[in-house]
Amino acid sequence: MILCVGIDVSKFKHDLAILENQGEVITKNLCFENSCQGFQILREHLESLEYPISEILIAL
């Protein structure tokens, strides 16, 4: 099973949605700042999903 992570990038913040490759929504909207702390939030959220890193596809 592949997780598809879509990130809408902007200057100050980023919006994220995560779907399984079969279309099930895992995370509808997660907003995080364009900062080290914001990317730490992203990392923690992805780790909480407990998917192998090899099964996570990230598109910007």
CATH number at residue 25: 3.30.420.300
- The whole domain housing 31 covers 3-59
Rounded CA gap, 57 and 18, in Å? 10
Q: Which residues of the chain are modeled with pLDDT < 70?
A: none
User: Residue 1: what pLDDT?
Assistant: 85
Helices (H), the chain: 36-48
User: Residue 17: what pLDDT?
Assistant: 97
Q: What is the pTM of this model?
A: 0.86
User: Residue 11: what pLDDT?
Assistant: 97
User: Residue 55: what pLDDT?
Assistant: 95
Count of domains in the chain? 1
